[in-house]
Structures are given as C-alpha cells and as structure tokens.
Amino acid sequence: MKRVLAAAAVLLSALWSQAQPLTLSHLFSDHAVFQQETTVPVWGWGAPGKRVEVKWEGTTFRTTVLPDSTWRVSLPTGKADGMARTLEVRSGKETLTRGDIVLGEVWICSGQSNMEMPLRGFGFQEVEGAAEAIMAAPETARDVRVFDIKTPKAYRPLTDVEAVWRYSDSAMAAETSAVAYFFARRLTRTLGVPVGIVVNAWGGSRIEPWMTRETIGGAGLTREELDALYAVEDVPDRWPETPELIWNGRVKPVAGYAAKGILWYQGCSNMGQPHCYDKLQAAMVRMWRKEWGRDLPFIFTLLAAYGHGDDNGRWRPHFVLNQLHTEEILDRSWAVCTETLGNPNTVHPAQKKEVADMMVQRALQSVYGIPTGMSIELPRLKSVDYLEDGTVKVTLTQVWGNLGSISERKIVGFELAGEDRIFHLSDAEVDWDGQTLIVKCADVPHPVAVRYGFRNWMGANLCTSYGIPVPPFRSDDWEY
C-alpha cells in the first residue's frame, strides 16, 4: 500500500508540474521600465523541462524550465530612446505578451513612513506642494512609472508580488510615495528619459524585517545588541518589527530586477540602537547588492528634528551620528541631511520635495557623473578654537565662503558647556568670511565643548547657501 501511495504521489507531482502554466513575474507587466544600457534579468515559471523562448527587440533568447519550475533569461538593453517595446514569451502553445515597455532609469525606493508617505499626505500631515504636483502629474505620467508593492507580512520567502507597473497620472501620483515621486519627476526632467520607481516602503517598520537573520547575525553586533534585537516580538496586527518579514514578502520576490540604485528613508523605529544601526544598515545593503548581483548605489536620509516626547532629549542626534557613520563603513553610500526640515509636531516633515531634490543632486553627481553646479557635500566639524574672551570659533569642512547668508546671520541650534559639562543654548552667527561660525554664551564664560543640533528638537537652521543642511555635530565625547 505504501508503495502504491508513493507512486501515486510521484505521478500527481509529475502531472502538476506538467500542468504548471507559463508565468511571468509581476515585475514584467505592461508599462514596465527596464534599466537602460545594461543586462536585464527576466524570469518566471513554467512546466519543468519545457523550452522557453523570449523574444526581445528582434532577438530570441532560449532557456529551459528548471525542476523547481523556474526559468530566467538575461536581455541586453540599449540607450533610452523614448520608444515603446514588446516582450514576448513562448513555451509550447503558451504565449505571454507584455507591451509598452520603455528603457530608462530604475530606482528601488524603500524605508518606513517617511518614504511611504504619499503625495496626498497622511491624516493631519500634509506634503508641501502636493496640490500643484498632483495637478501637474499628467505632464510626466508616461515618463514616471510606478511599481507599488503592498504585500503583507510573510513568514516564509515568496516568489512574486501582487503589483503592476502604472503611469503616474494624477490619481496614481496622489497615492505614490512623495519622496519617490518627486525624485523620479526631477530625474526624468533632468535626464530626459523615463524613470521607474519600485516603491517598497512600510510605515513603522524596523530595519531588521528588511533582511535575513543570517545577515543580521553577520553584521558585527555585540551579543548584548543581538539579544536586545531578538527580544522584539512580532505583533500580528502591527507593522513589521522582527527579521525577514518584509524581506520574505516584498524584497526577495523582486531582488535582481535591474535597477540603478536604492533610495532609503528609515530609522525612527530603530532609534534605540544608536551604536549599531550603522552596522545593520550596511549589512542590509551588502545583502541586497549580493541578491541583485549589482553594486547598487545607496542614498539614505538622516532623521529630521522632532521632539519624540522630549524636545531636550538627545537620543535623536546620537542616532543621526550613527546613521551618518554608514558613509564611512559602506562604499558608494551617501547621506542626505534633513536637520532644518524637521517639525516639532510631527515625525513626518512636509518638505518631501526638498528631500527628493537633495537625493537627485547626489544621484546626478555621484551616480551619473553629472556636475550639479553646486556643492552638495555635508559640512562636518573640522576644528574648534576657544578664545580667551569666551568666544568659540567653529570651522567646518565642505564650505568655501558659502555657509549661511547675509540675510540670516543669526544661527539657531548651538550650545556651549564649561568644565561642569552643563550645556547652555548659545548665540551663533556666520562670520563675514562665510566659513567660520562665532559662538558665545554669557552663561558659559569658559567653554570647553560645543554642540550643534544636539537635541531632539531645537529649531536648528544652519545651511549652506545652496540649502544643504548641516548635520548635528559635537566637539566632546561625553556619553550623554
């Protein structure tokens, strides 16, 4: 009897395999954007052992369905030319056709709520310029195309996602990530080619769900840090907080889709990890790069100022410095600073266009090699001089006479401390050379330490004349 049942199981399995229909990943739908001037993997499923032919730009590429029912081919792409293309897949009598495929630039846009926040905004939280952008969306609807992933938590790896490529008309633009949309619209206007955004963001998510446990285990965290991380428990009706839940359902199924780079806006939910987030972020990117088979550039956003329940708390700036450290441990990674874009009443700054524009500036200069005509490097603390009269002169890197402006010389966000290590809000202004900051405080006659932007919220306003915010910094190494 056992042999009969086993034989029947084998027969049923074989029959099921032969009945497996020819299928394409949802990534390869009508209106898709293929990354230009590269090799684009295309994959799907079918009956094991059957031949698959993929016709692309007059050439036929052939492969065989593997025993696990998967198949894959790699297609060459030329330079974007505005022409719509057709992808045709055949296997036996089955044929799949996808039309209106264009060549252009593809970016993966991920993170939590600040990346997820749609152009229409959240309840009681608006996006500046949303109405104008939504009304103007038809002008670039065919050039900005969106693949918006909404797969729920997955406790095992999935093979596909339920989404299709769509034009960014007004209705679609309103529901699309504001940062991703503004980025794509600016990029398509600058480069003159279509831009596809794979929007994969989940509000409230920690970084751990975006990668595997194996990756986390190899990130270089201490035993204590790992124990604290794994102590977080998954709550079924909440956003993902534990390892792999997003990786399984939203990242693994699209890993490998040819793209130019990654935009990342996440961190609020990991703010309790000011000493290891950089390691986790770097580990995640290395894993994604391996899965994609490409050294994808990584552009990420530093958390903006916000009270987080205590304006004078300092856990946010400590976390931001750790975020910023990712640039030093991960090649081809660049931070975008939002220090002056924060809001004391919401963790979601309304100036999403400004964030996107800084991401575009970085992409143009560092990824595409196109000069932006302005310095976009983040200023860092270079030196501090403590004068006998109690004045402190602060010099930053990456400024060449363009720090601040004559119209707003008084700077908010500085603090000085003496030997008692008690910080006091201080007056500051940009010196006439446009490179030096003069800081002083009557309550601190003999300062020994200076900090900038080093509270959760203090209205810090220091920028370069190009509008690039200066990230938090400090001259001391005190624990708090």
According to the 3-state scheme, what is the secondary structure of 14-47? HHHHHHCCCEECCCCCCCCEEECCCEEEEEEECC
Q: What contacts 350, CB < 8 A, 6 or more positions away? A: 121, 125, 126, 127, 128, 343
CA neighbor of 317 nearest in space, from 287, 354, 375, 274: 274
Cα–Cα distance between 358 and 338 in angstroms, integer? 9
pLDDT higher than threshold 70 for residue 211: yes
The amino acid present at 97, given as its one-letter code, is T
CA 311 to chain centre: 26
Does the pLDDT value for residue 185 go beyond 60?
A: yes
Average pLDDT, the chain: 94
At residue 115, does pLDDT exceed 60?
yes
**Is the per-residue pLDDT at 5 higher than 80?**
no
- CA neighbor of 47 nearest in space, from 33, 26, 66, 32: 66
The DSSP secondary-structure symbol of 273 reads -
Structure tokens at 401: 């006479």
Average pLDDT over residues 374-383: 92
Give the containing element (helix H, strand E) for 33. Answer: strand 33-35
| Dist. CA 228–CA 82, nearest whole Å | 51
Taking only the tens place, the pLDDT of each residue in 276-311 is 999 999 999 999 999 999 999 999 999 999 999 999
Region 452-473: mean pLDDT is 94
**Per-residue pLDDT at 10 exceeds 50:** no
Of the chain, the percentage scoring pLDDT greater than 90 comes to 88
Give the pLDDT mean for 204-233: 97
Mean pLDDT of 51-72: 98
Tell me the C-alpha distance between 294 and 184, whole Å: 21
pLDDT in tens, 261-275: 999 999 999 999 999
Percent over 70 (pLDDT), the chain: 95
Q: What does the alpha-carbon distance between residue 211 and residue 270 come to, in Å, rounded to a whole number?
A: 14
Domains of the chain and any CATH numbers = 17-103 (2.60.40.10), 104-367 (3.40.50.1110), 381-474 (no CATH)
CB atoms within 10 A of CB 407: 5
Model confidence over 401-459: pLDDT tens digits?
678 755 556 789 999 999 999 999 999 988 888 788 999 999 999 999 999 999 999 99
pLDDT band at 186 (very low <50, low <70, confident <90, very high): very high
Instruction: Identify the pLDDT of residue 375.
Output: 87
Q: CB of 478 within 8 A of CB of 421?
A: yes
pLDDT at 13: 44
Residue 334 phi/psi, 5-degree rounding, is -140, 135
In this structure, which amino acid lies at residue 357?
Answer: D
- 99 falls in which pLDDT band (50, 70, 90)? very high
pLDDT number for residue 56: 98
* pLDDT, mean of residues 192-210: 98
Predicted confidence at residue 11, as pLDDT, reads 38
Q: Is the pLDDT of residue 317 over 60?
A: yes
pLDDT of residue 3: 53
Report pLDDT for 224: 96
Give the mean pLDDT of 54-61: 98
Is the pLDDT reported for residue 15 higher than 90? Answer: no
